[in-house]
Every structure is written in C-alpha cells, then in structure tokens.
Amino acid sequence: MANPGFFQRQAHARRNTGLLIVLFLTAVTLITLAVCLVGYLVTRSQTSVLPFHYWLTSSHGLTTALAVVLLIGVGSLVRWADLAGGGSRVAKMVGARPIEPDTNDPEERKLRNIVEEMAIASGVPVPDLYVMDNETSINAFVAGYTPGEAVMVVTHGALTHLTRDELQGVVGHEFSHILNGDMRINVRLIALLAGILMLGQIGHFLLRAGFYSGGRSRNRDGRAQAAMGLIGLALMIIGYVGVFFGRLIQAAVSRQREMLADASSVQFTRNPEGIGSALFKIGMKGGYLDTTSHASDMNHMCFGESARMKFSTLLASHPPINERINAIQPGMLARLRSRLRDTEPGQKLRQDTSKTAGKAGLNDLVNQVVAPARGRGSSSPLRSSLAPDTPQLAEKLSTRVGTVSAQSEAFAVQLLEQLPSTFRNLLYTRAGAIQLCYALLIFDLSPSIQKQRLALLTEHPLLGAQPDLLDKMLPALARLGETARFPVLELAMPALRKLDPDERDALLENVQKLVAADNRVSLFELALTTFLNRHLGLGAEQVVPVKYRNYRQVMPALRRLLSLFARAGTDTPEDADKLYLEAMAGFGTGQEESRAGKVSMRELREALEILNRLSPLLKPAVIDACGYCVTHDGRVDVREYELMRLVADQLDCPMPPL
C-alpha cells in the first residue's frame, strides 16, 4: 500500500477543515442564542411576558437571530474575500516586505538558498519570500491555498539571530505545513474568527456610544441610551467569549500540526539540532510580533507563539518549547543549555533563564543529548538520465511524495552549485524567467532552427525573444542537460508569478507557438505547457475540491492517463497493450479495453483535472500505477520522470527528484 504519511495527512487536513467549520457553526449558534436571550430580557414587558422559546419563534426573535447570523457571516465573508489573494495578501496584511529574488543582502541570500534547496528536493515551486523588517523576534510562517502559490514570511530577527542550520530547521518546519495542506486551514481560520470578533467590536462601539452619549444628555432619552450601552456591553462580552472558544478550538488543532511539522523538519533536514536550537533561541529571545495588530490572528500560523495572551495553557497554539525540544530529541535541552553556559556571561545567563522560565518553563528538563548525525552524501556530476537501483525501484513512487531524502537534497545542493552565476541571477528577473521558458524549448536544436522558432514570437520589450539573454542561457542549459530542466523552471517561478495577468497570458501563448512549430508535442513540451498553465493560468491559487470518492467515477480519465504512460514506457504497440492491462488491473472491472489508445494534449489535461478531484487517499494508487509503467524496465529516463512529475504536480502531490 502507498505511503500513509503524506496522503493520510492531506485527508486529515481536509477532515479538520470540515470539523472546524462544524465547530464554528456550533459557536455561531450558541452566540446567536445568547444574543437573542439579551434581546428577550431587554424587550419583554411586565404586562406581556412570553416564555423565551415562544419569543424566539416570534418576529422579534427571528429578526434578532437573522441579524446576528448575517452580521457574523458578513464579517467572515469580508475577511475571506480580503484573503482571496492568497499568501501574498496575508504577507501584506502583517506589513511584510517581499524579498527580491536577486537580493544582494547576505542574510536574505542565505534564506533564499535554503528555500531553493528545500523546494528542489521536495519537488514544489520555490515559494515567494517576505521579511518583516521591524520585528526583532524570531518567527516565521507560510500562507497560501496551494503548494505552488505559497509564500514564506520570516521576521528580521530570524534572519539575524539564527545560524544556517537553525534557519534550515525552521524552513523545513514551514515546508511541512506546505506539503501537509495546513496553509488552507490557517487562512480560513483567520476569516472564521473575524466574523465572531466583529460582534464584539460592534458591542464595544455600542457600549461607548451609549454610556458616553448618555452622560451628556441625561435628561433626554437617558433610558434608551443606557439600554443601548447595556446591550453593547452584553454583545461585547458574548463576542469575546465566542472568540475565546474559537481560539480554544484553533489551539487544540494547531498543537497537533506543530508537533508533526517539527518531526517532518527533522526528517527533511536530518539535523535535529538545527530546529531544536532554533526553538531554544525562541525560548530565550521570544517570538512575539509587536509591530502588527494581527499578531493574535496569526498565532496559529507561526513557527512559535506570536501573541501574548492570558490563559496560555488553554489558548496557546503551540506546545510548550520544552516539550517540542524534548519530542525532537530527548535530552537535547541539556546540551543546548550547557552550550549557552559556555558562551554567555553568568549574569546575563541568569537574567535570560529567569525570563525564559517565566515564559516557557525551560528549566524543567535536564537530560542527556545525542549528537546529531548529519551527512549529505557524496557529490557526483549531474546526469542526463535518472536510473535508480533495483531496491529503490521496488519501492512504490507514492512513498516519495511529500518527502525529502538525502539523495534529493544532495541533488538540489549540487545543482545549485553547478548553475553559472549569471544564469542563476537571470532566473530571478522577469525578463530572464520568460526567456528561460523559451530556451527550454529550443536549447537542443541547431542555431538555425532556433532562430526560425524565435522568429515566430511577436516583438515585445519584455515578452519577445531577447537574443542577448538567450545567448547566456542556451549554453548553460546545454551543459546542464535534461535533468536540470524542471528544477531551473522551479527556481524561476517567483519571477514568473510577478507577471501581470495579461503578461502571463501572452507568455503562455508564446510558449504554445514554440511547441506547435514542428506539428508535434514531445513529452517535455507537454509537461512544460501543462505546468505553466497550472501555475500561471486563471484560478492558479484556487483550491480544488474533492468530488470523487471511488475509481468507478473516474475510470475514463484513468484509461486515458495509463494509456499515455503505457505507450511512453514501451517501444512496441504490443508491449504497450500488455503494460496498459497490467497497470489497469488494480482499478478495472474486468471489462477493460485491450489496447492502449493515443491520447491528445487536451484529453490528458481533462483527465488530470478530473483525477485531481479524487479523495487524497485514492491518489496514491494512481501515482503507483503510473510509476509501474515508467519503472517496469528497471530504469527511469528523464522524459519518463518529467511525465511522472507532470502527473504528480497536477494531482497536487509534490514529487522530489528520483
């Protein structure tokens, strides 16, 4: 059976979303009843006293209930619409500044290098990066609706106080949230809390208006204004009680995800002391966001607690620092504290530890630490063919989804080291990223044919062919070979996402012209155009809902997909037919077509759109069936991997390099 980790966590994240909506609807119902009770007590008269349940079904009660529900609903919808821009909107909400891809700041370059390594190793496009310049605390978060459009925000303190290994541990933690689908829940929680909070804000307004106005006009409508003030007080109390329980639910769910993300960071980096030391520094220096009014809204999204709040035992979105460090590696805290005593003056250490004890209780653990074993594997030249050994091929490809291995990290580090400096810097600019898309389609052609293809493009200062940039890119791509095509495209995604909608459409049109120039579509051209449409096309940031919960509903799409893989993985029609039937055996009803038919680009895209609506727990079998086709001969060449990478990307299943 496929790896239960990634796919079950995806399914669990979707179930958590539904559960949270149910819980918040329950909270809205209770708040509505509480407001109706206040309305009942204020409006009832001594001559006509109806029981509460009768009043509730009267016109007054129904009007009050409807007004409360609409108020909460409008508050949540307004914030939901405000956050429709995805992760970039959340980053701007907290005042974060985008880190330019070609930044020269050494601390920002360090972060970008770590993020690029992790992105290539895990098979996701490089996230956009932001920094909160005015925050000296240590914290970070990711936001967005899909892995391909995620953004990562770090505080200035995280850049300046953390070493490379510590920052890598934080990045690995945040990548876990990207891969496990936590970002969608986090953004939706902000919107859900906003509606409940609006009720308390209106109550606060009525309270001030009633009592302050009542004091100035005591002789006129004094009772009405006093009543308004009392209603405002009741609404404010009810509203903030609702927020209390909302944050209680939020914290309970968030704590589980934080522990999982810590464990995933260790798995990704294979360096438990990196994230452990980062957590220790947060315990010493703090992670509170003091320059934004949205600190409490962001608390569940951040690497550490971002807001000071009372009842922290109940409302904290993260487990205590000491528990997190101890869960990563028993006894690590003793080693970290011993190291601090060796480097800090005694007086400062006593001050810091007393402050830390008050915040997080880090004085409770004294254990033995095991030194981490960290290795990156030996370096080897990039190859134009990927050929894993037999033991690796025996492993189902779905077990690799959403993971980072030592081999994939070594591949990412080595690739980045081999990129020419000028070539890499061009990937960080809009013009260079656009020319990369063109270069990927023509770099293996003769110079004369390259000129013919580029002549098809309309002249444009940004979107047209730029020979001076292409002359720097084409030789580098030819030297790096086919293996580097998708990784360098992922490096260029932050720059491509900066294109305006019209520029994106024009780029996709130009790419399609180059693909159609020879009246045939190669596997890489198919993968490239589908990848760009998926991440730059209309609705790229939208979440794809689950629609199908069994394979019978998507059988035509499965047949098309596996027909293509069977034909791509064999040399003769007879072998393709045999491989197709073997791949379909796990899904079929015994009435499968006996031949692997041809599949057009349009049919493949339609099939992948349908299969992406499968339940997460049904997707591993699709990945494994495709993997069976590409590994049946004991090797995986670059074109087969790119086709495999295409399918995984379209199914929102990050596939690391093989």
- DSSP for 107-119 reads HHHHHHHHHHHHH
How far, in Å, CA of 464 to CA of 513, rounded?
12
In 3D, which of 172, 102, 87, 121 has the Cα closest to residue 490? 121
Count of Cβ atoms closer than 10 Å to residue 59 Cβ: 8
Starting at the edge strand found earlier in the chain, the sheet holding 140-143 runs 97-98, 128-132, 151-155, 140-143
CA distances (Å), origin 382, targets 385, 403, 411, 416: 9, 21, 8, 11
What residue has token string 């007086």?
A: 347
Question: Which amino acid is residue 446, in one-letter code?
Answer: S
How far, in Å, CA of 440 to CA of 478, rounded?
10
Count how many Cα atoms sit within 13 Å of the Cα of residue 156 in the half-sphere of its side chain. 11
How far, in Å, CA of 558 to CA of 10, rounded?
21
3-state helix, strand, coil in the chain (%, to 5): 65, 5, 30
In 3D, which of 199, 237, 325 has the Cα closest to residue 273? 325
- DSSP for 618-651 reads GHHHHHHHHHHHHHTTS---HHHHHHHHHHHHHT
CA distances (Å), origin 114, targets 111, 126, 129, 143: 5, 10, 11, 18
DSSP 415: H
Q: How far apart are the first and last CA of the chain?
A: 20
- DSSP strands (E only) in 218-278: none
CA distances (Å), origin 474, targets 363, 426, 477: 58, 12, 5
Whether 208 and 232 have beta carbons less than 8 Å apart is answered as yes
Helix (H) or strand (E) holding 122: helix 106-122
What residue has token string 């452990």?
A: 276
Helix (H) or strand (E) holding 60: helix 59-82
**Phi, psi dihedral angles at 655 (to 5 degrees):** -110, 115
Question: Which amino acid is residue 173, in one-letter code?
Answer: H
Q: Which amino acids are annotated catalytic? A: 174
